[in-house]
Structure 1
Amino acid sequence: MFIKDYISKDFPCFSLTDSIESARDTLEDFGYSHIFIKKSHHFYGAIAKDFLYEGDGILKDLEHQIERFAILEDNNIMDSIRLFYTFNANVIPVINKNEKYLGYITCEDIFQNFSRYPLFSETGAILTIETPARKYSMTEIANIVESNNSKFYGGFITSMSDEMIQITIKISNENLSSIDATFDRYDYRIVQKYYSDEKSDLFNDRFGFFQKFIEI
């Protein structure tokens, strides 16, 4: 799950002396949200697509619009999620420790990787449960599910304060009523639940989980 295993290399890194028109044409060919800029052979930053339609000239004219974000090749793909969300990007530049541009990763790359794991790929039930922060235990949550002969595929914290924590979990479809009752008995409140055993809902299921990851 390291970034270096997902790098693509066919998207160029532009210089400030390149024309806005050429950068715009390239971006339209690829359909990405940003172009990347290098300066003195080092990665310099990114410019969002919208700014390339404000006029012609050279990219130096847009230097004040450059956003500074990138990910290191030896980072984990989980590290990329916040960057996609923070910069409203569908593409992220990859650099090495010397800030040399190596290529890029896309949101689609990450989505496809996550979709292979049971948390996303298995059909089942999605529950968002709430509990006082002082008694939060993912181990206890998993035990509640498994003690009712259901499978616990995984989960993550979706909201957290000093008082309360909300956790979204993915479980198999067995014994759901019994699981609901057990959570209630252990002082967990079910905030949202989505049950499905239809294969046609699998894509929406995966995408919803991925969106929640991005919004963390």
Structure 2
Amino acid sequence: MFIKDYISKDFPCFSLTDSIESARNMLEDFGYSHIFVKKSNHFYGAIAQDFLYEEEGTLKDLEHQIERFAILEDNNIMDSIRLFYTFNASIIPVINKNEKYLGYIGSDDIFQDLSKYPLFSELGAILTIETPARRYSMTEIANIIESNNSKFYGGFISFMSDEVIHVTIKISNENLGSIDATFDRYDYRIVEKFYSDEKSDLFKDRFGFLQKFIEI
């Protein structure tokens, strides 16, 4: 799951002396959200597609619109999710420790790969539960599920404050009523739940869980 295993190299990194028109034409050919810019042979940043339609001239004229974001080749693909969300990007530039541009990763490739994991791919139930922050324990949550003969596919903290923590989990569909009762007995509050056992809901289930994940 390292970034270096997902790098594509067919999208160039432009220089500030390149024309806005050439960058715009390239972006239209690929259909991506940003173009990338280098300066003195080092990665400099990215420019969102909308700015390429505001002016003519060279990319130097858009230098004030450059956003500084990139990911290192030896990072994990999980590190890229916040960048996709924060910068509303469909691609993320990949650099090495010397800030040399190596290529990019695309959101479609990353999300498609993540969707293969049981956390996203298995049919089941999605629950968001609330617990006081002082007694949060993912181990206890997993034990409650497994003690009711259900499978725990995974989860993450979807909200956190000094007082409470919300944990969103994915579990199999067995014994859901018993699991609800056990959570109640251990003073967990179920904030949200979505149960699905229809194959037609699989894509909706995956996409919804990915959306929850990138929005934390």
TM-score tier, shorter chain, comes to over 0.9
Moved beyond 6 Å, runs of 4+: none
1:212, distance to aligned residue in structure 2 (A): 1.4
Partner of 2:96: 96
Partner of 2:61: 61
The answer as to 2:67 corresponding to 1:73 is no
Amino acid corresponding to residue 45 of structure 2 in structure 1 = G
Partner of 2:85: 85
Amino acid corresponding to residue 97 of structure 1 in structure 2 = K
Amino acid corresponding to residue 193 of structure 2 in structure 1 = K
Partner of 2:26: 26
Instruction: Please give the secondary structure, in 2, of the residue aligned with 1:170.
Output: strand
Amino acid corresponding to residue 115 of structure 2 in structure 1 = S
1:202, distance to aligned residue in structure 2 (A): 0.9
Amino acid corresponding to residue 6 of structure 2 in structure 1 = Y
Cα separation, 2, equivalents of 1:124 and 1:206: 10
Cα separation, 2, equivalents of 1:101 and 1:212: 31
Partner of 1:39: 39
The percentage of aligned residue pairs carrying the same residue is 87
1:178, distance to aligned residue in structure 2 (A): 0.5
Partner of 2:209: 209
Amino acid corresponding to residue 31 of structure 1 in structure 2 = G
1:199, distance to aligned residue in structure 2 (A): 1.0
Q: Deviations over 1:77-122 (max 9, x none)?
A: 1111111111111110000111110000011111011111000000
Partner of 2:180: 180
Cα separation, 2, equivalents of 1:163 and 1:99: 41
Number of positions where the alignment pairs a residue of Structure 1 with one of Structure 2: 216
The answer as to 2:191 corresponding to 1:191 is yes
Partner of 1:105: 105
Partner of 1:2: 2
TM-score, with structure 2 as normaliser: 0.98
Cα separation, 1, equivalents of 2:86 and 2:4: 21
Unmatched segments (≥5 aa) in structure 2: none
Partner of 1:156: 156
Instruction: Please give the secondary structure, in 1, of the residue aligned with 2:45.
Output: strand
Partner of 1:136: 136
Cα separation, 1, equivalents of 2:201 and 2:10: 34
Unmatched segments (≥5 aa) in structure 1: none
Cα separation, 1, equivalents of 2:208 and 2:168: 11
Cα separation, 2, equivalents of 1:34 and 1:130: 38
Cα separation, 2, equivalents of 1:207 and 1:188: 26
1:124, distance to aligned residue in structure 2 (A): 0.3
Cα separation, 2, equivalents of 1:94 and 1:145: 39
1:55, distance to aligned residue in structure 2 (A): 2.0
Cα separation, 2, equivalents of 1:28 and 1:39: 23
Amino acid corresponding to residue 191 of structure 2 in structure 1 = V
